[in-house]
Amino acid sequence: MRRFSAVAGSGIFLIVAPGVVAGLVPWLLSDRWSLPWSSLPGLVPLGWALIVVAVAALLHAFGRFALEGLGTPAPIAPTETLVVGGIYRHVRNPMYVAVLSIILGQVLLFSSWTLAAYMVVAAIAMVTFVKLYEEPALAGRYAAEYETYRRNVPGWLPRLTPWRG
C-alpha cells in the first residue's frame, strides 16, 4: 500500500472506529456532555490529562501503522509489515489501551457510572476481539516474528522500558 493511501485509510478508520467508540458513544451516553463536571477534588484535571495523553498515544499508534507498516488498523487494509516501533515497543495494543483511557478520562470528568459501565463493556469487547481474531490473524500473517514480539511485549499493561527486539 502506498504511503498516501495508508495515511488516508488510517485517518478514515481513526474517525470511524475510535471516533465512534471513544467520542460519539460516550457523548450520546452522557446526554451530549450535559452532565456536570465531577465535584470530587482532582478528578477533572486528572480526566483531562488522561484524555490528552491517550489521544497523543492514539495518534502516534495510528501514525505508526500508516508510516511504518504501510497499512491501516482496519482488517480490510492491514499493514505490509508488523508494526513494532514507537509505542508498540511498550504495549502490543496501544490503540485499544488509548481508547479505553479516553473513556476512563471521561468517566473521571463526569464521575459517570454509565460511562464506567460502557468502558467495561468496551474493554470486554476489545479483549475478546483481540483474542479471537487479531492475535490468530497476526500469528498467521507474521508467524515467528509475531510470536517473538508477543512473548516480549505485553498486550495491555505497558512495559516501562522499550523492547529492543
Of 26, 16, 10, whose CA–CA distance to 101 is shortest? Answer: 26
70, three cell numbers: 504501510
Q: What is the residue-level pLDDT of the chain in tens, covering all 165 positions?
A: 587 888 888 889 899 999 999 999 999 998 766 778 888 899 999 999 999 999 999 999 999 999 998 889 988 888 999 999 999 999 999 999 999 999 999 999 999 999 999 999 999 999 999 999 999 999 999 999 999 999 999 999 999 999 998
Domain membership flag for residue 101: yes
User: Could you tell me the CATH number of the domain that includes residue 107?
Assistant: 1.20.120.1630
Residue 12 lies in a domain: yes
Q: How far apart are CA 26 and CA 110, in angstroms?
A: 11
Task: Report yes or no on 18 lying in a domain.
Answer: yes
What stretch of H or E contains 5? helix 3-16
Residue 108 CB contacts under 8 Å (≥ 6 apart), including other chains: 38, 43, 44, 46, 47, 50
C-alpha closest to that of 21 among 137, 124, 112, 108: 124
Residue 158 domain-assigned (yes or no):
no
| Rounded distance between C-alpha atoms, residue 162 and residue 152, angstroms | 10
Examine residue 74 and state whether it is found in any structural domain, yes or no: yes
Q: How many residues does the chain have?
A: 165
Classify residue 51: in a domain, yes or no.
yes
Domain count within the chain: 1
Q: Which of the 8 DSSP states describes residue 89?
A: G
CA distance 42 to 32: 23
Q: Are 28 and 114 in contact (CB under 8 A)?
A: no
Residue 132: inside a domain = yes
Stretch (H or E) spanning 159: none
Q: Is 29 left (phi over 0), alpha (psi -120 to 50) or beta?
A: alpha
Quick one: pLDDT at residue 61? 95
- CB atoms closer than 10 angstroms to residue 54: 22
Distance CA 108, CA 104 (A): 6
Q: Domain range spanning residue 82?
A: 3-152
- Is residue 14 domain-resident? yes
